[in-house]
A = this chain, B = another copy of it.
């Protein structure tokens, strides 16, 4: 048995997220597993580095699978791509050490959230950016981002909490770059909870539009409640850029 890592890019617009579901065929995991089944002739489980929500995109999602015998990585990649729809592409197939697991072995992830601040909205960004017209104070947004960086209890920044699970995470860096009307908010951290990047983004956007002060954000990191944090920024603006190991 050999363990392989897949690097997968997808346009999430048409899909109901990463995770296989019994009641729909429109999931990335389900479609990948179906392609491998057709290619190999037997079912193989594919483990993602994590789930992405419906409508969220990826340039560098990682997944792992275990196959009997040897394959040619490039041939396997091309064969799967030939079976996949054109909005899901396998960018790379790599042989890994046995024991590698896309989720448990991951050291961290990078996400990019794209905001279109133009008055009218760019037609070609409509599926890949959240249209949020108006003036944003970049300096205030960067100050908010600075507060959020570091090791904190992010319990106010998720929509699904279980008692057993820690809500402490480390965000190594939040970088905000403006390019014309587009604003890119890039997150690099050791792990992100359900909806976390989108709630962080909503909170930073509220700061940038003057609806939220730095003091409030600092308080959110102590005894914060979800209801005190920012709005859930829409899925379409979010992209999983990289998973690193």
Interface residues, chain A, CB within 8 Å of chain B?
9-11, 57, 59, 81, 86-89, 91, 120-124, 126, 128
| A119 nearest in chain B by CB position | B91
* A120 in complex: contacting residue of B11, B91, B123, CB < 8 Å: B91
* Structural contact, B87 and A10, CB atoms closer than 8 A: no
Residues of B with C-beta under 8 A to A91: 120
- Distance between Cα atoms of A115 and B57 in the complex (Å): 22
Query: Taking chain A's interface residues, is the majority helix, strand, or loop, or is none over half, making it mixed?
Result: mixed
Closest to A10 in B: B123
Q: Which residues does chain B contribute within 8 Å of A81, judged by CB atoms?
A: 120
Contact partner of A123 among B89, B124, B126, CB < 8 A?
B89
Q: Considering only CB atoms, which chain B residue lies closest to A88 in the complex?
A: B123
State the CA gap A128–B86 with chains docked (Å).
13
Residue of B nearest to A58 (CB): B123
A63 to B87 CA separation, bound complex (whole angstroms): 33
Q: Inside 8 A of A88's CB, which chain B residues have their CB?
A: 123
12 extra A-B contacts, CB within 8 A, seeds A9-B122, A11-B124, A124-B128: A11-B123, A11-B126, A57-B124, A59-B123, A59-B124, A86-B123, A86-B126, A87-B123, A88-B123, A89-B120, A89-B121, A89-B123
